[in-house]
Amino acid sequence: MPLLVMKFGGTSVADLARIKNAAKKVQREVERGYDVIVIVSAMSGETNRLVGYVEGTSKLYDAREYDAVVASGENVTAGLMALRLQEMGIPARSWQGWQVPIQTTAQHGSARFVDIPRANIDAKFAEGFKVAVVAGFQGLSPEGRITTLGRGGSDTTAVAFAAAFGAERCDIYTDVDGVYTTDPRVSSKARKLDKIAFEEMLELASLGAKVLQTRSVELAMRYKVRLRVLSSFEDTDETSGTLVCDEEEIMESKVVSGVAFSREEAKITLFTIEDRPGVASAIFGPLADAGVNVDMIVQNISEKDYDDAHPGAVTDMTFSCPINQVDRAKKAMEDAKAAGKIKYDELIIDTDVAKVSVVGIGMRSHTGVAARMFEALSKENVNIKVISTSEIKISVLIDRKYMELAVQALHDVFELDKA
Ligand code: ASP
Ligand code: MG
């Protein structure tokens, strides 16, 4: 029997009417002859509420109990979805992570998949069940405790199941009708893409386009799971939404496919650090240990290069990280300084920044993208604070108040409104 994975995000299962609407989409695929694995998120707002309960109880909470609490939102929707399908005459059974059992690592709050054994679910399909409804976002640690995968983790659950069960496709139903060239709320000229390559989607996802959890795209790319992002609120068919696929499935792509942005950035500068071997490691080691996700890094050149003649050379180091990790980063640096592991005169935090990036696999074979990007920003008088690049992306850190302007200017200059 061909198999599909269908994932419904929080807004798509936000209340009983929406669960019913989602169930109808499942019914249609069952009628087409598919066995279906449905992955559900918690009702929208529910996970935040549960996280609030945990934080309201314990400031430095035990991560195992955090997982025990926040995983419960998905259990509710899995059971309700199975019930709704049964009401429609479809043999369906719900599964919590431990019942599958979805095996993960023991990193509570950000666990990773180890294995998804098929036997239990396959046995149910063999009995005549048509749908397995699986609670997203959760799994089971080697110690037998409930784990969660990190916020937005149900996308990753869906892709992992599609890979494990050899699904024909993994359909991600959400509250938008696909992946856009940029956020339509920021540029009215944003255009929905029919197809996008895994690598581009990976960059867009990690750069702040919130349609898919980054890890789900990584996993899809690794296992070549064809992913489709589509709306659960519209009538959809085989051609709806955006297909995230191998670049070989895309005939010709533009140099730039999308403009991504993130408001949740902060810039931290350490002034007058020593310029000698080992300093970067002494800074970024403690940051990594503190769980800070450092993104862009700039080290200035010192006036005098480090060598035997200038052992006292100094420089400045700037890096960016998510805004909600600033306190952790600051503490890690102050502790390292107090322990004598690093020296700096001053630590300055700038939380009024945003990151804007252009992404496209076409950049591999075209030059001049950076020049066009910087020219467009200079025409708008936007000052660039930090730049970073990869093979298929260029990112700049700018003042947050110019973010919308920058996104619109870049969308225009790369003509993303035209197919
Ligand atoms: N319910 C979880 C969250 O809100 C997981 C998900 O929806 O993907 O992060
Ligand atoms: Mg989501």
Domain boundaries, the chain: 3-175, 260-413
Neighbours of 71 (CB within 10 A): 25
The verdict on domain 260-413 having CATH code 3.40.190.10 is: no
pLDDT digits (tens, 9 = 90+) for 185-220: 899 999 999 999 999 999 988 776 778 999 999 999
Res 137 pLDDT > 80: yes
Rounded distance from Cα 41 to ligand 1 centre (Å):
6
Rounded distance from Cα 132 to ligand 1 centre (Å):
19
pLDDT digits (tens, 9 = 90+) for 144-162: 999 999 999 999 999 999 9
Gyration radius (Cα) of the chain, Å: 24
- Note whether 3-175 and 260-413 share their fold: no
Check pocket membership of 77 for ligand 1, CB cut-off 6 A: no
Exposed e or buried b per residue across 239-273, where buried means at least 16 C-beta atoms within 10 angstroms of its C-beta? ebbbbbbeeeebeebbbbbbbbbbeebbbbbbeeb
Nearest C-alpha neighbor of 116 from the set 67, 158, 78? 158
Cβ(259)–Cβ(351) below 8 Å: no
pLDDT digits (tens, 9 = 90+) for 87-123: 999 999 999 999 999 999 999 999 999 999 999 999 9
Secondary structure E strands in 55-168: 92-95, 103-104, 113-115, 131-135, 138-140, 146-148
Check pocket membership of 152 for ligand 1, CB cut-off 6 A: yes
* Alpha helices, DSSP H, located in 135-273: 154-164, 198-206, 214-223
Among residues of the chain, what percentage have pLDDT more than 70?
97
The residue whose CA is least distant from atom 6 of ligand 1 is 152
Tokens of 178: 């696909």
What pLDDT is attached to residue 197?
95
Out of 137, 212, 219, 229, mutate this one to test ligand 1's pocket (max ligand atoms within 8 Å of CB): namely 137
What pLDDT is attached to residue 305?
66
SS3 assignment, position 122:
helix
Average pLDDT of the chain, as a whole number:
94
Q: How far apart are CA 182 and CA 411, in angstroms?
A: 8
What pLDDT is attached to residue 205?
83
Res 311 pLDDT > 90: no
pLDDT digits (tens, 9 = 90+) for 40-75: 999 999 999 999 999 999 988 999 999 999 999 999
> 358 a known binding residue?
no
> 244 a known binding residue?
no
What pLDDT is attached to residue 306?
67
Check pocket membership of 151 for ligand 1, CB cut-off 6 A: yes
Among residues of the chain, what percentage have pLDDT more than 90?
86
Check pocket membership of 137 for ligand 1, CB cut-off 6 A: yes
Q: Which fold has domain 3-175?
A: Carbamate kinase (3.40.1160)
